[in-house]
Amino acid sequence: MAAAANGGGGETKAAFARIYDALKAELLRDPAFEYTESSHQWIDRMLDYNVLGGKCNRGLSVVDSYKLLKGVDVLTEEEMFLASTLGWCIEWLQAFFLVLDDIMDDSHTRRGQPCWFRVPQVGFIAVNDGILLRNHISRMLRLHFKKKPYYADLLDLFNEVEFKTASGQMLDLITTHEGEKDLTKYNIGVHRRIVQFKTAYYSFYLPVACALLLSGESLENYGAVENILVEMGTYFQVQDDYLDCYGDPEFIGKIGTDIEEYKCSWLVVQALEHADESQKSILFENYGKKDPACVAKVKDLYKELNLEAVFHEYESESYKKLIADIEAQPSVPVQKVLKSFLHKIYMRQK
């Protein structure tokens, strides 16, 4: 089998992008459904609108991790296709979550364009589109992996991660609801549980688990790796919460709204932990209000409590612990995969 042009980062991205076109074309020829011209056009447009447009970090991580596990810089054409297909399955999963999340959150924009359900003529058809996006994953896995010995493990992995993520989303939605009645319900345990289930499994564990299965490994032997990746995902989300308040909107590409939206953010949890009674009352009066003056009071309180320093201390401790845990792993290629993830996110500014 000829080697694919997938050596450098730019080449890998280009090869990965071409494979999206091939997968989409296959879905649009799926013999299980008789496409009309209008349904063909709808799916074509819906996929381009929702699956594309992100940075594809999760999907590309499957390819990068697989290369590190195999100890090669270039994959064969078939290896590149299979690794990219699993990467795109994760991007499809992300699209499915985001389409439905935006409806639940009543959001307006996503990736610099109107949310899919806000597009004229789409509306709540977006709910069914979300269901179709999820079903496309099963179609792609069946088409390309059915004869592989790890097919059942792949299906199980995607089902497991989807269940964890949807449960994390439920926790986020009902906690925000409860918090509106009582801010003291927000604590580090609640925050951690939401983050682990809603973000860490599908963003960090899933790409590496896909690469391990492709490499012929059994996931049962990698419980410690799962724990490290979930810890990394937790650290990633804490960074996100921090950047929501302290990041430069020009640089991170969005304006933070966690305070206005009453989010169970790491910062508010830390504020509740460090504040005295009078400071807590400022939080209770102003958190979750759209009024810019209220938001400013919360930010002033964060400054007073020196939460920037608290975050930098957390970041440094997390990094040290993660490095120690990674270096305790017996497999050097696995260590390389984990370190490559950590170094992509450590001290990031966006």
Residues 6+ away with beta carbon under 8 Å from 100: 126, 127, 130
Report the pLDDT averaged over residues 102-110. 88
Judge whether 276 counts as a catalytic residue.
no
Residue 7 has pLDDT above 70, yes or no: no
In the set 30, 44, 101, 325, the catalytic residue is 101
Judge whether 106 counts as a catalytic residue.
no
In the set 64, 153, 240, 244, the catalytic residue is 240
Name the residue with higher pLDDT: 252 or 349: 349
CATH of domain 148-349: 1.10.600.10
pLDDT for residue 238: 96
In the set 29, 45, 73, 105, the catalytic residue is 105
Judge whether 299 counts as a catalytic residue.
no
Domain ranges of the chain: 16-25+35-147, 148-349
Judge whether 44 counts as a catalytic residue.
no
In the set 110, 134, 139, 164, the catalytic residue is 110
In the beta sheet, which residues pair with residue 113? Answer: 110
Residue 317 has pLDDT above 60, yes or no: yes
CATH topology for the 16-25+35-147 domain? Farnesyl Diphosphate Synthase (1.10.600)
pLDDT for residue 248: 77
Q: How confident is the model at residue 3 (pLDDT cuts 50, 70, 90)?
A: very low
Residue 10 has pLDDT above 90, yes or no: no
**pTM: predicted TM-score of the whole model, two decimal places:** 0.92
pLDDT for residue 255: 76
In the beta sheet, which residues pair with residue 3? Answer: 76
Judge whether 156 counts as a catalytic residue.
no
Report the pLDDT averaged over residues 147-151. 97
Name the residue with higher pLDDT: 185 or 312: 312
Residue 1 has pLDDT above 50, yes or no: no
- What is the distance between the alpha carbons of residues 148 and 146, in angstroms, rounded to a whole number? 6
Query: What mean pLDDT, rounded, does the chain reach?
Result: 93
Q: How confident is the model at residue 2 (pLDDT cuts 50, 70, 90)?
A: very low
Judge whether 55 counts as a catalytic residue.
yes
Judge whether 172 counts as a catalytic residue.
yes
Query: Is residue 48 a contact partner of residue 42, using CB atoms and an 8 Å limit?
Result: no
